[in-house]
């Protein structure tokens, strides 16, 4: 069948690739001049199924207050007169309990583990290269309290048979030798050996080239205005270059997805959480990380990508504001210089920001909707790179009417009930705000 995929980030391109592999005629539409130029451009570089966890955890409110009072705060909230922001925050807090955390983490790990396996299979089949490494993630703890709190996560990892090791300081230094220089700053760590790293931007561009060879048409520099319908199904997507039609439509537009589908009775609880990153050249390979080191205190990841170090993290609630705020560089500078003081050259770092499309329960929204030919692949938050291959594969299977290889329970929009799908029939000619920027 003919399928239009809206969005050319890592999620959209992965979806298009697997659709094309299944024999469909695919067109990808994006306002940018090329793939992976927004949230996928300079993320933390982690493919971390073992570290997949919702932000809505027990004690979230107390942690948030503590974070905002820290000198190098991992969280900033810039209040706005935006009902969507406050609704999202309330739903986030409603999920911050032990039962919801375990359910949501279980869903996330299920998809993330599958996605990692899909990525490995794709790499073996195509030989795609993207500065990848398969050396795991080391979550480092600076306090004993953090070590004790890891028990909840380890219980879920046990349930899903995800390998891990709880390490002391010497164990951390054995995995990441550069940490020997700063052993007094940590008390232990959690090693997730099944995790990987890689450059999401390079991957997405390479996969887009492979998709093109399979016949996928990419329409860049094309703004998406609205979806049209006949009252029962989507009949076309109105763009700056005219109306495009297909048999099925996949919305993979990250934080901008909710506005596009809202006229169809779909109230998606996806809200942008702004993140920042630095990319700096390695000047001392022995002083740089071997893979990814996640600083649990500051919620910042330090990752080796070839001859570069990527430092990614922080969370800023400020709507769709993409202002590159110099003050938010401080936490990134601090973590990389504190843990890897000799590894990279901060004076040559590229500073970047992007919008993560977060759901309040942490789980993305993938698969079918009540509108028969409209499908979603959005809401991956900080884990779009981790979940891209698996999400693309399952959505391609769903669109093609094939049985998915994993259980889709709790992954689709259906988990939100009528609040997210208040009408099973679309509004004829419903307008959506243009996806600006």
Binding site listing for FAD: 3-17
Sign of CA dihedral 396, 400, 405, 410: positive
Binding residues: 3-17
Half-sphere exposure of 300 (CA within 13 A, CB side): 30
d(CA 179, CA 171): 10
Buried b (16+ CB within 10 A) or exposed e, 344-376: bebeebebbbbbbbbbbbbbbbbbbbbbebbbb
Residue 314 three-state SS: strand
Q: Where are the beta strands (DSSP E) in 321-388?
A: 350-358, 365-368, 374-378
**Is residue 54 within 8 Å of residue 362, measured between CB atoms?**
yes
Of 113, 62, 140, give the one whose Cα is nearest residue 300.
Answer: 140
Whole-Å CA distances, 155 to 95, 101, 138: 19, 12, 18
Of 235, 231, 257, give the one whose Cα is nearest residue 246.
Answer: 235
End-to-end CA distance of the chain: 31
d(CA 418, CA 353): 34
Token pair belonging to 192:
């997730």
Whole-Å CA distances, 168 to 152, 165, 332, 366: 18, 10, 25, 38
d(CA 351, CA 302): 14
Number of Cβ within 10 Å of residue 63's Cβ equals: 17
Buried b (16+ CB within 10 A) or exposed e, 286-317: ebbbbbbbbbbbbbbbbbbbeebbbbbbbbbb
Token pair belonging to 315:
């969370």
Render 29-84 in DSSP notation, one character per residue: E-SSSSSS-STTSS---EE-STT---S--TTHHHHHHHHHHSTT-SEEE---S-HH
d(CA 380, CA 357): 6
């Amino acid at each position: 069948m003919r399928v239009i995929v809206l969005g050319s980030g890592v999620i959209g391109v992965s979806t298009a690739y697997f659709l094309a592999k299944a024999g469909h005629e695919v067109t990808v539409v994006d306002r940018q001049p090329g793939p992976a130029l927004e949230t996928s451009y300079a993320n933390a570089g982690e493919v971390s199924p073992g570290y997949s966890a919702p932000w809505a955890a027990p004690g979230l409110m107390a942690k948030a207050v503590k974070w905002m009072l820290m000198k190098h705060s991992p969280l900033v909230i810039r209040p706005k007169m935006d009902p969507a922001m406050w609704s999202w925050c309330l739903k986030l807090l409603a999920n911050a309990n032990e039962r919801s955390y375990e359910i949501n983490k279980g869903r996330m790990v299920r998809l993330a583990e599958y996605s990692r396996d899909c990525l490995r299979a794709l790499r073996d089949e195509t030989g795609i290269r993207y500065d990848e490494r398969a050396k795991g993630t080391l979550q480092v703890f600076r306090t004993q309290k953090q070590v004790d709190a890891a028990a909840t996560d380890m219980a879920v990892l046990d349930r899903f048979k995800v390998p891990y090791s709880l390490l002391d300081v010497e164990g951390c230094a054995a995995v990441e030798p550069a940490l020997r220089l700063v052993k007094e700053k940590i008390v232990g760590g959690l090693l997730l050996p099944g995790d990987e790293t890689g450059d999401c931007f390079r991957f997405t561009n390479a996969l887009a080239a492979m998709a093109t060879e399979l016949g996928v048409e990419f329409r860049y520099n094309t703004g998406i205005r609205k979806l049209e319908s006949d009252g029962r199904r989507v009949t076309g997507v109105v763009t700056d270059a005219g109306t495009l039609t297909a048999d099925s439509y996949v919305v993979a537009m990250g934080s901008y997805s909710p506005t596009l589908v809202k006229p169809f009775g779909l109230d998606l609880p996806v809200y942008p959480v702004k993140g920042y990153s630095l990319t700096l050249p390695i000047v001392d390979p022995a002083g740089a990380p071997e893979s990814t080191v996640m600083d649990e205190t500051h919620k910042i990841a330090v990752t080796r990508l070839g001859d570069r170090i990527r430092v990614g993290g922080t969370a800023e609630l400020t709507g769709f504001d993409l202002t590159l705020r110099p003050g938010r560089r401080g936490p990134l500078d601090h973590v990389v210089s504190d843990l890897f003081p000799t590894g990279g050259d901060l004076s040559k770092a590229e500073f970047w920001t992007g919008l993560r499309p977060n759901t309040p329960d942490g789980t993305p929204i993938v698969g079918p909707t009540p509108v028969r030919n409209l499908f979603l692949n959005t809401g991956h938050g900080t884990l779009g790179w981790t979940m891209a291959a698996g999400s693309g594969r399952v959505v391609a299977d769903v669109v093609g009417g094939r049985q998915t290889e994993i259980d889709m329970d709790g992954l689709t929009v259906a988990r939100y009930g009528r609040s997210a799908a208040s009408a099973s029939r679309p509004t004829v000619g419903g307008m959506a705000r243009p996806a600006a920027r």
